[in-house]
Amino acid sequence: MRTDVMRLDVRLRRRGLVGYTVGMGAYAVLVVALYPTFKGDTGLDAITSGNSSLSALLGVSGPLTSPDGWMNANIYANFLPLVVLLMTIGYGASAVAGQDEDGVLGLTAALPLGRVSLAVQKILALVVIATPVAAVTMLAAVAGRRSDIDLATGPLVAATAAVIGLGIVFGLLALLVGALSSSRTTALGVTSAVAALSYVISALAPVVHWVHAVRWLSPFYWALGGEPLTRGIGAAATWTLVLCIGGLASACVWAVDRMDVR
């Protein structure tokens, strides 16, 4: 299997990839380092205890001052997924539609490789781009064991995989919309709107009855709604994300194969 196009696309986004990874790593280290200062602050817990709406919006599970509650509220429930999605949706919209608009997709599509290979290499590049930010955050959390962030390894790995999976889902959606529309703006707009809606559904599902009824529509719910940092990720959620990624990836291959390249 050739990887020339995958490596080229990762190279083209190297600067952003390094920047986001270093930035997120620094932020995660700061959050971990601040934990000992706040872990005894019962006033923090008072903010969310008995207020399920606020807890839902912050993505807090249990008390804010528990290790998993602290990491969840500051990183895993919102900030980390946001950064990963920024990267994957950005790449997904650029990988096909953006490069076509810029006129450079014709250069790679004119190489001696089939469209299926081109699409698969773009998807692999997306996986590569989705990984480092979540991985460096996980390393920071592991290092946090020195400052009382004693997260269990299983749930930490599960939460990291869930965030990466979530990023891949929305990156694939952006790639698909881009391949169908040949428009980077459409890909970014549609995917960002779907992602925002998905986040809101997942966040409000515990407190709003009718939103709760449609929570299964939200990839955020499947990835993060089950509090993976505390409980790991269940089989149903895992399979849903895997099938979602498989379905979207197949659709991407089909759309790239039939696409007219400039």
Contacts with other proteins, residue ranges (CB under 8 A): 2, 4-5, 7-8, 11-12, 15, 102-104, 106-115, 117, 258, 260-262
Q: Which is nearer to other proteins, 110 or 235 (CB)?
A: 110
Q: Enter the tokens of residue 249.
A: 């990836």
Q: Which is nearer to other proteins, 40 or 112 (CB)?
A: 112
Q: Which is nearer to other proteins, 22 or 107 (CB)?
A: 107
What is the smallest separation between the CB atom of 190 and other proteins, expressed in angstroms?
Answer: 20
Which residue stretches of the chain are H helix? 4-12, 14-38, 42-48, 52-58, 67-71, 79-93, 99-102, 105-109, 115-143, 153-181, 184-204, 209-213, 219-224, 228-231, 235-258
93 touches 9 (CB < 8 A): no
Q: Which is nearer to other proteins, 109 or 130 (CB)?
A: 109
CA atoms 143, 146, 152, 153: torsion sign? positive
CA dihedral in degrees (197, 198, 204, 210; nearest 10)?
A: 80
Q: Which is nearer to other proteins, 55 or 182 (CB)?
A: 182
What is the smallest separation between the CB atom of 180 and other proteins, expressed in angstroms?
Answer: 14
What is the smallest separation between the CB atom of 71 and other proteins, expressed in angstroms?
Answer: 35
What is the smallest separation between the CB atom of 248 and other proteins, expressed in angstroms?
Answer: 23
What is the smallest separation between the CB atom of 108 and other proteins, expressed in angstroms?
Answer: 8
Distance CA 257, CA 238 (A): 28
Distance CA 256, CA 95 (A): 11
* Residue whose pair of structure tokens reads 């698909």 in the numeric block: 176
What is the smallest separation between the CB atom of 112 and other proteins, expressed in angstroms?
Answer: 4
Report the 10 Å Cβ neighbour count for 14.
11
Q: Which is nearer to other proteins, 104 or 217 (CB)?
A: 104
Count of positions (residues) in the chain: 262
